[in-house]
Structure 1
């Protein structure tokens, strides 16, 4: 289990292992992940707490979560 301060980095590492491209937003609060036609945007409060994440398919909104567990599941699809 990861601590809160490691959570953002742990999520980024999982995404990289699953061949997702990562970009950090200009305000450094968000991570944008892309793979094919799927995009995930995660917004963080520091590196410890996920504020929320959205999942898009073909630029269409599909789902929203505030749970890191759900965010991790999206990367494994």
Structure 2
């Protein structure tokens, strides 16, 4: 399971590099932070249950933040 977090780190790094190349600096920095987070977690040797719980916590936090941003900061089109 620890390898999966390293794979997530690789993909977030790829997305961050593409965002940086496209001039989306804020998005690139966000994905670089996620890359560091995933790679560090990938080398911590937690149990499989801990990794699953960390992934669920990450997904809840991400979807809550994304929903908040799209509804309250961007506004709903009328």
TM-score, length of structure 2 as denominator length? 0.32
* Rg larger in structure: 2
Larger helix share, 1 or 2: 2
TM-score, length of structure 1 as denominator length? 0.32
